[in-house]
Structure 1
Amino acid sequence: MIPTLRILTNMGSLQRLAPFWVLGLVLFILNFSLLAFVAVIYGVVLQFFVEYVMHRFLYHREPPQQQGMFNDLYRSHIGHHEFPTNPEFFTGGDNWYALKFGLVAAALHTVVLWPILGLSSAALFGTVALFLGSVSAFTFYEYCHTLAHVNVPKGWFGNKVTQSHLRHHFNDHETTFHVSFGMGWIDRLFGTSYSREDARERFDRDTILSLGMDPEDLRLIEARKAFGLPKSPRDRAV
Protein backbone atom coordinates (compact mmCIF):
# COMPACT_ATOMS: atom_id res chain seq x y z
CA MET A 1 0.00 0.00 0.00
CA ILE A 2 2.79 2.43 0.88
CA PRO A 3 4.45 2.31 -2.59
CA THR A 4 1.05 2.93 -4.18
CA LEU A 5 0.33 5.93 -1.94
CA ARG A 6 3.82 7.28 -2.61
CA ILE A 7 3.10 7.35 -6.33
CA LEU A 8 -0.27 8.99 -5.70
CA THR A 9 1.19 11.78 -3.59
CA ASN A 10 3.58 12.60 -6.43
CA MET A 11 0.84 12.87 -9.06
CA GLY A 12 0.69 16.46 -10.26
CA SER A 13 -3.04 16.36 -10.98
CA LEU A 14 -3.90 15.24 -7.45
CA GLN A 15 -1.55 17.81 -5.94
CA ARG A 16 -3.32 20.59 -7.83
CA LEU A 17 -6.77 19.27 -6.92
CA ALA A 18 -5.99 18.87 -3.20
CA PRO A 19 -6.73 22.49 -2.11
CA PHE A 20 -10.04 22.41 -3.98
CA TRP A 21 -10.95 19.09 -2.33
CA VAL A 22 -10.34 20.75 1.04
CA LEU A 23 -12.53 23.67 -0.06
CA GLY A 24 -15.31 21.26 -1.02
CA LEU A 25 -15.01 19.45 2.31
CA VAL A 26 -15.16 22.70 4.29
CA LEU A 27 -18.23 23.87 2.37
CA PHE A 28 -19.88 20.49 2.91
CA ILE A 29 -19.29 20.62 6.68
CA LEU A 30 -20.34 24.25 7.05
CA ASN A 31 -23.44 23.83 4.89
CA PHE A 32 -24.38 20.26 5.77
CA SER A 33 -27.81 19.56 4.35
CA LEU A 34 -29.67 17.19 2.08
CA LEU A 35 -28.55 19.32 -0.88
CA ALA A 36 -24.88 18.99 0.07
CA PHE A 37 -25.24 15.24 0.65
CA VAL A 38 -26.93 14.74 -2.73
CA ALA A 39 -24.17 16.84 -4.32
CA VAL A 40 -21.48 14.48 -3.01
CA ILE A 41 -23.29 11.35 -4.24
CA TYR A 42 -23.98 12.97 -7.59
CA GLY A 43 -20.34 14.03 -7.95
CA VAL A 44 -19.07 10.52 -7.20
CA VAL A 45 -21.40 8.86 -9.73
CA LEU A 46 -20.65 11.55 -12.31
CA GLN A 47 -16.92 10.92 -12.01
CA PHE A 48 -17.30 7.18 -12.54
CA PHE A 49 -19.13 7.89 -15.81
CA VAL A 50 -16.51 10.48 -16.79
CA GLU A 51 -13.82 7.87 -16.09
CA TYR A 52 -15.49 5.45 -18.49
CA VAL A 53 -16.32 7.97 -21.23
CA MET A 54 -12.86 9.54 -21.30
CA HIS A 55 -11.11 6.19 -21.29
CA ARG A 56 -13.22 4.72 -24.06
CA PHE A 57 -13.87 7.67 -26.37
CA LEU A 58 -10.95 10.03 -25.74
CA TYR A 59 -7.97 7.83 -24.91
CA HIS A 60 -8.98 4.99 -27.24
CA ARG A 61 -9.99 7.18 -30.16
CA GLU A 62 -8.59 6.71 -33.64
CA PRO A 63 -4.88 7.67 -33.47
CA PRO A 64 -4.18 10.98 -35.24
CA GLN A 65 -2.04 11.06 -38.36
CA GLN A 66 -0.30 14.33 -37.46
CA GLN A 67 2.73 13.49 -35.32
CA GLY A 68 2.31 16.27 -32.78
CA MET A 69 -1.29 15.33 -32.05
CA PHE A 70 -0.30 11.66 -32.00
CA ASN A 71 2.42 12.42 -29.45
CA ASP A 72 -0.21 14.05 -27.21
CA LEU A 73 -2.36 10.92 -27.34
CA TYR A 74 0.71 8.75 -26.86
CA ARG A 75 1.67 10.68 -23.73
CA SER A 76 -1.91 10.56 -22.49
CA HIS A 77 -2.55 6.88 -22.98
CA ILE A 78 -0.92 4.83 -25.75
CA GLY A 79 2.45 5.01 -24.00
CA HIS A 80 0.83 3.63 -20.85
CA HIS A 81 -0.37 0.60 -22.80
CA GLU A 82 3.02 0.03 -24.39
CA PHE A 83 4.91 0.51 -21.12
CA PRO A 84 2.31 -0.31 -18.42
CA THR A 85 4.80 -0.60 -15.56
CA ASN A 86 6.32 2.86 -16.11
CA PRO A 87 4.78 5.17 -13.46
CA GLU A 88 5.59 8.23 -15.58
CA PHE A 89 2.78 7.09 -17.89
CA PHE A 90 0.17 6.22 -15.27
CA THR A 91 -1.40 9.62 -15.91
CA GLY A 92 -1.43 12.02 -18.86
CA GLY A 93 1.12 14.71 -19.46
CA ASP A 94 -1.05 17.71 -18.50
CA ASN A 95 -1.08 17.93 -14.70
CA TRP A 96 -3.51 20.87 -14.87
CA TYR A 97 -6.13 19.11 -17.01
CA ALA A 98 -8.15 17.60 -14.14
CA LEU A 99 -8.31 20.92 -12.30
CA LYS A 100 -9.31 22.84 -15.44
CA PHE A 101 -11.97 20.22 -16.17
CA GLY A 102 -13.28 20.47 -12.60
CA LEU A 103 -13.43 24.27 -12.63
CA VAL A 104 -15.32 24.35 -15.92
CA ALA A 105 -17.70 21.60 -14.79
CA ALA A 106 -18.39 23.32 -11.45
CA ALA A 107 -19.09 26.60 -13.25
CA LEU A 108 -21.44 24.91 -15.73
CA HIS A 109 -23.36 23.20 -12.92
CA THR A 110 -23.69 26.53 -11.12
CA VAL A 111 -25.04 28.28 -14.23
CA VAL A 112 -27.51 25.51 -15.06
CA LEU A 113 -28.82 25.21 -11.49
CA TRP A 114 -28.89 28.95 -10.75
CA PRO A 115 -32.49 29.51 -12.01
CA ILE A 116 -33.67 26.46 -10.03
CA LEU A 117 -31.80 26.73 -6.72
CA GLY A 118 -30.61 30.31 -6.61
CA LEU A 119 -27.00 31.40 -7.01
CA SER A 120 -25.63 30.46 -3.57
CA SER A 121 -27.19 26.99 -3.48
CA ALA A 122 -26.24 26.32 -7.10
CA ALA A 123 -22.63 27.33 -6.41
CA LEU A 124 -22.59 25.18 -3.28
CA PHE A 125 -23.93 22.18 -5.21
CA GLY A 126 -21.47 22.60 -8.08
CA THR A 127 -18.45 23.10 -5.84
CA VAL A 128 -19.24 20.26 -3.42
CA ALA A 129 -20.25 17.87 -6.23
CA LEU A 130 -17.15 18.43 -8.35
CA PHE A 131 -14.47 19.11 -5.77
CA LEU A 132 -15.54 16.83 -2.94
CA GLY A 133 -17.55 14.11 -4.65
CA SER A 134 -15.83 13.86 -8.03
CA VAL A 135 -12.30 14.48 -6.77
CA SER A 136 -12.77 11.79 -4.11
CA ALA A 137 -13.91 9.35 -6.81
CA PHE A 138 -11.04 10.44 -9.08
CA THR A 139 -8.54 9.80 -6.29
CA PHE A 140 -10.07 6.36 -5.73
CA TYR A 141 -9.71 5.70 -9.47
CA GLU A 142 -6.05 6.72 -9.42
CA TYR A 143 -5.48 4.48 -6.40
CA CYS A 144 -7.09 1.48 -8.10
CA HIS A 145 -5.25 2.15 -11.35
CA THR A 146 -1.87 2.52 -9.68
CA LEU A 147 -2.42 -0.52 -7.49
CA ALA A 148 -3.19 -2.60 -10.59
CA HIS A 149 0.20 -1.74 -12.08
CA VAL A 150 2.63 -1.84 -9.18
CA ASN A 151 4.30 -5.02 -8.01
CA VAL A 152 3.33 -5.12 -4.33
CA PRO A 153 1.44 -7.54 -2.06
CA LYS A 154 -2.20 -6.75 -2.80
CA GLY A 155 -4.61 -8.95 -0.90
CA TRP A 156 -8.16 -9.66 -2.05
CA PHE A 157 -9.05 -6.09 -3.04
CA GLY A 158 -5.84 -5.43 -4.95
CA ASN A 159 -5.98 -8.75 -6.77
CA LYS A 160 -9.54 -8.09 -7.91
CA VAL A 161 -8.62 -4.64 -9.23
CA THR A 162 -5.49 -5.97 -10.92
CA GLN A 163 -7.19 -8.93 -12.56
CA SER A 164 -9.95 -6.75 -13.96
CA HIS A 165 -7.75 -3.94 -15.26
CA LEU A 166 -4.97 -6.08 -16.72
CA ARG A 167 -7.53 -7.88 -18.86
CA HIS A 168 -7.94 -4.53 -20.60
CA HIS A 169 -4.18 -4.26 -21.10
CA PHE A 170 -3.20 -7.78 -22.03
CA ASN A 171 -6.33 -9.59 -23.24
CA ASP A 172 -8.75 -7.19 -24.92
CA HIS A 173 -8.25 -3.43 -25.04
CA GLU A 174 -11.74 -2.98 -26.51
CA THR A 175 -13.44 -3.94 -23.25
CA THR A 176 -13.26 -3.24 -19.48
CA PHE A 177 -12.90 0.52 -19.72
CA HIS A 178 -13.84 1.01 -16.07
CA VAL A 179 -10.92 0.91 -13.66
CA SER A 180 -12.36 1.73 -10.24
CA PHE A 181 -13.31 -1.24 -8.09
CA GLY A 182 -16.99 -2.16 -8.26
CA MET A 183 -17.73 -0.16 -11.42
CA GLY A 184 -18.04 -3.13 -13.79
CA TRP A 185 -21.75 -2.35 -14.11
CA ILE A 186 -20.85 0.63 -16.30
CA ASP A 187 -19.19 -1.65 -18.84
CA ARG A 188 -22.19 -3.96 -18.69
CA LEU A 189 -24.49 -0.99 -19.23
CA PHE A 190 -22.64 0.08 -22.38
CA GLY A 191 -21.89 -3.39 -23.73
CA THR A 192 -18.13 -3.45 -23.18
CA SER A 193 -17.85 -6.16 -20.53
CA TYR A 194 -15.02 -8.65 -20.86
CA SER A 195 -15.80 -11.85 -22.74
CA ARG A 196 -13.19 -14.59 -22.86
CA GLU A 197 -14.49 -15.82 -26.22
CA ASP A 198 -14.46 -12.36 -27.84
CA ALA A 199 -11.05 -11.61 -26.34
CA ARG A 200 -9.62 -14.84 -27.75
CA GLU A 201 -11.02 -14.00 -31.19
CA ARG A 202 -9.65 -10.42 -31.20
CA PHE A 203 -6.32 -11.10 -29.51
CA ASP A 204 -3.21 -10.30 -31.54
CA ARG A 205 0.03 -10.88 -29.68
CA ASP A 206 1.95 -8.46 -31.89
CA THR A 207 -0.41 -5.49 -31.52
CA ILE A 208 -2.05 -5.92 -28.10
CA LEU A 209 0.35 -3.50 -26.39
CA SER A 210 -0.01 -0.82 -29.09
CA LEU A 211 -3.82 -0.80 -29.11
CA GLY A 212 -4.09 -2.60 -32.44
CA MET A 213 -1.44 -0.53 -34.20
CA ASP A 214 1.55 -2.05 -35.94
CA PRO A 215 4.31 -1.66 -33.31
CA GLU A 216 6.63 -0.54 -36.10
CA ASP A 217 4.29 2.27 -37.16
CA LEU A 218 6.44 5.36 -37.71
CA ARG A 219 4.19 7.43 -35.44
CA LEU A 220 4.87 5.04 -32.56
CA ILE A 221 8.59 4.98 -33.25
CA GLU A 222 8.76 8.79 -33.28
CA ALA A 223 6.65 9.08 -30.12
CA ARG A 224 8.83 6.61 -28.22
CA LYS A 225 11.88 8.56 -29.29
CA ALA A 226 10.29 11.86 -28.25
CA PHE A 227 9.63 10.58 -24.72
CA GLY A 228 12.93 8.75 -24.28
CA LEU A 229 11.42 5.27 -24.30
CA PRO A 230 12.88 2.02 -25.63
CA LYS A 231 12.56 1.44 -29.37
CA SER A 232 10.07 -1.37 -28.77
CA PRO A 233 7.63 -2.11 -25.92
CA ARG A 234 9.04 -5.65 -25.97
CA ASP A 235 12.23 -4.12 -24.56
CA ARG A 236 10.46 -2.81 -21.46
CA ALA A 237 11.23 -4.17 -18.00
CA VAL A 238 8.43 -6.51 -16.97
Structure 2
Amino acid sequence: MKRVIKEFFLQHDIIIMFGIMLAFFIVLQEKLFTGTALLSLLVGIIFYTLNEYVTHRFLFHLKPPKNPILLKLLKRLHYDHHVYPDDLRLLFLPIWYSLPLFAIWLYALYLFTGSITIVLSFGIGMIGMFLMYEWKHYIAHRPIRPITRFGRWLKKQHILHHYKNENYWFGVSNPFYDFLFGTYKEGKDVKLSETARNLEKEKNNTSTF
Protein backbone atom coordinates (compact mmCIF):
# COMPACT_ATOMS: atom_id res chain seq x y z
CA MET A 1 0.00 0.00 0.00
CA LYS A 2 2.91 2.36 0.72
CA ARG A 3 4.17 1.84 -2.83
CA VAL A 4 0.73 2.69 -4.21
CA ILE A 5 0.42 5.89 -2.18
CA LYS A 6 3.96 6.91 -3.11
CA GLU A 7 3.35 6.33 -6.81
CA PHE A 8 0.15 8.39 -6.69
CA PHE A 9 1.46 11.35 -4.70
CA LEU A 10 4.70 11.60 -6.68
CA GLN A 11 2.79 12.48 -9.85
CA HIS A 12 3.70 16.10 -10.54
CA ASP A 13 0.10 17.00 -11.45
CA ILE A 14 -1.05 15.73 -8.06
CA ILE A 15 1.77 17.53 -6.22
CA ILE A 16 0.86 20.86 -7.82
CA MET A 17 -2.87 20.61 -7.15
CA PHE A 18 -2.34 19.38 -3.60
CA GLY A 19 0.06 22.27 -3.01
CA ILE A 20 -2.51 24.79 -4.23
CA MET A 21 -5.17 23.33 -1.94
CA LEU A 22 -2.76 23.47 1.00
CA ALA A 23 -1.97 27.11 0.19
CA PHE A 24 -5.69 27.91 0.26
CA PHE A 25 -5.92 26.29 3.71
CA ILE A 26 -3.00 28.38 4.96
CA VAL A 27 -4.49 31.63 3.66
CA LEU A 28 -7.92 30.96 5.15
CA GLN A 29 -6.87 29.42 8.49
CA GLU A 30 -9.70 29.94 11.01
CA LYS A 31 -11.93 31.64 8.40
CA LEU A 32 -12.49 28.22 6.87
CA PHE A 33 -14.64 27.23 9.84
CA THR A 34 -17.27 29.94 9.34
CA GLY A 35 -20.68 29.02 7.99
CA THR A 36 -20.12 30.83 4.69
CA ALA A 37 -16.78 29.13 4.10
CA LEU A 38 -18.04 25.65 4.95
CA LEU A 39 -21.06 26.09 2.69
CA SER A 40 -18.80 27.30 -0.12
CA LEU A 41 -16.57 24.26 0.39
CA LEU A 42 -19.57 21.95 0.12
CA VAL A 43 -20.76 23.71 -3.04
CA GLY A 44 -17.26 23.29 -4.48
CA ILE A 45 -17.43 19.55 -3.88
CA ILE A 46 -20.86 19.26 -5.50
CA PHE A 47 -19.80 21.46 -8.41
CA TYR A 48 -16.80 19.29 -9.14
CA THR A 49 -18.77 16.04 -9.08
CA LEU A 50 -21.23 17.45 -11.62
CA ASN A 51 -18.41 18.83 -13.74
CA GLU A 52 -16.67 15.44 -13.63
CA TYR A 53 -19.71 13.73 -15.10
CA VAL A 54 -20.55 16.40 -17.69
CA THR A 55 -16.95 16.72 -18.89
CA HIS A 56 -16.45 12.96 -19.13
CA ARG A 57 -19.70 12.33 -20.96
CA PHE A 58 -19.99 15.33 -23.27
CA LEU A 59 -16.42 16.57 -23.84
CA PHE A 60 -14.13 13.58 -23.44
CA HIS A 61 -16.56 11.39 -25.40
CA LEU A 62 -17.22 13.95 -28.10
CA LYS A 63 -17.36 12.50 -31.60
CA PRO A 64 -13.89 12.67 -33.18
CA PRO A 65 -13.47 16.21 -34.57
CA LYS A 66 -12.16 16.84 -38.08
CA ASN A 67 -9.86 19.58 -36.82
CA PRO A 68 -6.48 17.86 -36.25
CA ILE A 69 -5.57 20.11 -33.32
CA LEU A 70 -8.82 19.35 -31.48
CA LEU A 71 -8.44 15.67 -32.30
CA LYS A 72 -4.91 15.64 -30.88
CA LEU A 73 -6.19 17.40 -27.76
CA LEU A 74 -8.97 14.86 -27.20
CA LYS A 75 -6.58 11.99 -27.87
CA ARG A 76 -4.35 13.19 -25.04
CA LEU A 77 -7.20 14.04 -22.68
CA HIS A 78 -9.17 10.83 -23.14
CA TYR A 79 -9.23 8.91 -26.41
CA ASP A 80 -5.77 7.40 -25.91
CA HIS A 81 -6.69 6.48 -22.35
CA HIS A 82 -9.34 4.15 -23.74
CA VAL A 83 -6.77 2.57 -26.06
CA TYR A 84 -4.22 2.16 -23.26
CA PRO A 85 -6.35 2.25 -20.09
CA ASP A 86 -3.58 1.14 -17.72
CA ASP A 87 -0.85 3.46 -19.04
CA LEU A 88 0.12 5.65 -16.09
CA ARG A 89 1.16 8.47 -18.43
CA LEU A 90 -2.43 8.78 -19.68
CA LEU A 91 -4.18 8.13 -16.39
CA PHE A 92 -4.04 11.60 -14.84
CA LEU A 93 -5.48 14.81 -16.25
CA PRO A 94 -2.56 16.95 -17.44
CA ILE A 95 -1.84 20.05 -15.38
CA TRP A 96 -1.97 22.24 -18.50
CA TYR A 97 -5.65 21.30 -18.75
CA SER A 98 -6.84 21.21 -15.15
CA LEU A 99 -4.99 24.22 -13.71
CA PRO A 100 -6.21 26.87 -16.21
CA LEU A 101 -9.72 25.44 -16.00
CA PHE A 102 -9.76 25.72 -12.21
CA ALA A 103 -8.35 29.25 -12.43
CA ILE A 104 -11.15 30.30 -14.78
CA TRP A 105 -13.84 28.89 -12.48
CA LEU A 106 -12.37 30.57 -9.41
CA TYR A 107 -11.91 33.90 -11.18
CA ALA A 108 -15.51 33.79 -12.42
CA LEU A 109 -16.69 33.07 -8.88
CA TYR A 110 -14.66 36.02 -7.57
CA LEU A 111 -16.23 38.34 -10.16
CA PHE A 112 -19.66 37.12 -9.04
CA THR A 113 -19.13 37.23 -5.25
CA GLY A 114 -16.17 39.56 -4.65
CA SER A 115 -15.21 37.37 -1.70
CA ILE A 116 -11.77 35.78 -1.36
CA THR A 117 -13.07 33.60 1.49
CA ILE A 118 -15.84 32.15 -0.67
CA VAL A 119 -13.48 31.63 -3.61
CA LEU A 120 -10.75 29.88 -1.62
CA SER A 121 -13.25 27.73 0.31
CA PHE A 122 -14.96 26.74 -2.93
CA GLY A 123 -11.51 26.01 -4.36
CA ILE A 124 -10.62 23.71 -1.47
CA GLY A 125 -13.81 21.71 -1.99
CA MET A 126 -13.33 21.57 -5.74
CA ILE A 127 -9.65 20.61 -5.66
CA GLY A 128 -10.22 18.15 -2.83
CA MET A 129 -12.87 16.38 -4.90
CA PHE A 130 -10.62 16.53 -7.95
CA LEU A 131 -7.89 14.73 -5.98
CA MET A 132 -10.47 12.17 -4.86
CA TYR A 133 -11.44 11.67 -8.51
CA GLU A 134 -7.80 11.15 -9.48
CA TRP A 135 -7.32 8.67 -6.63
CA LYS A 136 -10.43 6.66 -7.54
CA HIS A 137 -9.37 6.67 -11.19
CA TYR A 138 -5.87 5.57 -10.25
CA ILE A 139 -7.21 2.72 -8.10
CA ALA A 140 -9.56 1.62 -10.91
CA HIS A 141 -6.66 1.07 -13.30
CA ARG A 142 -4.01 -0.35 -11.02
CA PRO A 143 -3.80 -3.95 -9.74
CA ILE A 144 -5.25 -2.91 -6.39
CA ARG A 145 -8.23 -4.33 -4.52
CA PRO A 146 -10.16 -1.50 -2.84
CA ILE A 147 -10.71 -1.96 0.89
CA THR A 148 -14.46 -1.26 0.96
CA ARG A 149 -17.29 -3.04 -0.84
CA PHE A 150 -18.40 0.27 -2.34
CA GLY A 151 -14.88 0.93 -3.59
CA ARG A 152 -14.75 -2.48 -5.27
CA TRP A 153 -18.16 -1.91 -6.84
CA LEU A 154 -17.12 1.55 -8.10
CA LYS A 155 -13.97 0.11 -9.64
CA LYS A 156 -16.03 -2.55 -11.39
CA GLN A 157 -18.30 0.10 -12.94
CA HIS A 158 -15.33 1.97 -14.35
CA ILE A 159 -13.84 -1.20 -15.78
CA LEU A 160 -17.19 -1.85 -17.50
CA HIS A 161 -17.00 1.65 -19.00
CA HIS A 162 -13.62 0.82 -20.53
CA TYR A 163 -14.07 -2.79 -21.55
CA LYS A 164 -17.79 -3.30 -22.15
CA ASN A 165 -19.53 -0.11 -23.26
CA GLU A 166 -18.24 3.48 -23.24
CA ASN A 167 -21.76 4.94 -23.27
CA TYR A 168 -22.44 4.09 -19.62
CA TRP A 169 -20.81 4.46 -16.18
CA PHE A 170 -19.30 7.94 -16.60
CA GLY A 171 -18.97 8.64 -12.88
CA VAL A 172 -15.49 7.89 -11.56
CA SER A 173 -15.54 9.33 -8.04
CA ASN A 174 -19.24 8.57 -7.52
CA PRO A 175 -22.18 7.04 -9.44
CA PHE A 176 -24.83 9.63 -8.49
CA TYR A 177 -25.19 11.32 -11.88
CA ASP A 178 -25.18 8.02 -13.73
CA PHE A 179 -28.27 7.05 -11.74
CA LEU A 180 -29.77 10.52 -12.17
CA PHE A 181 -29.27 10.77 -15.94
CA GLY A 182 -29.83 7.14 -16.89
CA THR A 183 -26.27 6.13 -17.76
CA TYR A 184 -26.08 3.49 -15.04
CA LYS A 185 -27.01 -0.02 -16.09
CA GLU A 186 -26.33 -3.48 -14.78
CA GLY A 187 -23.43 -4.92 -16.74
CA LYS A 188 -25.47 -7.91 -17.90
CA ASP A 189 -28.06 -5.58 -19.45
CA VAL A 190 -25.60 -3.76 -21.73
CA LYS A 191 -24.28 -5.01 -25.05
CA LEU A 192 -20.56 -5.19 -25.70
CA SER A 193 -19.47 -2.12 -27.66
CA GLU A 194 -16.99 -2.45 -30.52
CA THR A 195 -15.70 1.08 -29.87
CA ALA A 196 -15.11 0.96 -26.11
CA ARG A 197 -11.37 0.65 -26.71
CA ASN A 198 -11.24 3.03 -29.69
CA LEU A 199 -13.25 6.24 -29.32
CA GLU A 200 -11.88 7.63 -32.59
CA LYS A 201 -14.11 5.17 -34.43
CA GLU A 202 -17.13 5.80 -32.21
CA LYS A 203 -20.40 5.86 -34.16
CA ASN A 204 -18.35 5.75 -37.39
CA ASN A 205 -18.63 9.49 -37.97
CA THR A 206 -16.94 12.69 -36.93
CA SER A 207 -17.85 16.03 -35.44
CA THR A 208 -17.89 19.06 -37.75
CA PHE A 209 -15.47 20.94 -35.47
Contact residue 59 and residue 77 of structure 1 kept, 8 A = yes
Give the match for residue 76 of structure 1. 77
When normalised by structure 2's length, the TM-score is 0.87
Report the alpha carbon displacement of residue 212 of structure 1 after superposing the two structures with TM. 6.9
Q: Which residue of 1 aligns with 2:172?
A: 179
Residue 161 of structure 2 is aligned to residue 168 of structure 1: yes
Conservation of the 8 A alpha-carbon contact between 2:140 and 2:159: yes
Q: Aligned pairs, how many?
A: 202
How many angstroms apart in 2 are the aligned matches of 1:105 and 1:68? 24
How much identity, in percent, do the aligned residues show?
22
Residue 153 of structure 1, CA deviation = 3.7
TM-score by length of 1: 0.77
Find out whether 1:18 has 2:18 as its counterpart: yes
In 1, the alpha carbon distance for the partners of 2:164 and 2:30 equals 48
RMSD: 2.2
Structure-2 residue corresponding to 1:151: 143
Q: Deviations over 1:154-189 (max 9, x none)?
A: 333542231121111111111111101xx2121121
Contact 1:17 1:135 in 2 (8 A): yes
One-letter amino acid of the counterpart of residue 38, structure 2: F
Residue 183 of structure 2 is matched in structure 1 by 192
Q: Which runs of 5+ in 1 are unaligned?
A: 115-121, 218-238
Residue number in structure 1 paired with 2:4: 4
Moved more, 190-199 or 100-109: 190-199
Distance 1:174 1:212, change over 3 A: farther
Distance in 2 between residues matched to 1:100 and 1:143, nearest whole Å:
21
Amino acid at match of 1:213: K
Q: Which has the higher contact order (CA 8 A, sep 6+)?
A: 2
CA shift for structure 1 position 113: 1.6
Change (3 A) 1:160 1:2: farther
1:40 aligns with 2:41: yes
Give 1 or 2 for the bigger CA radius of gyration: 1
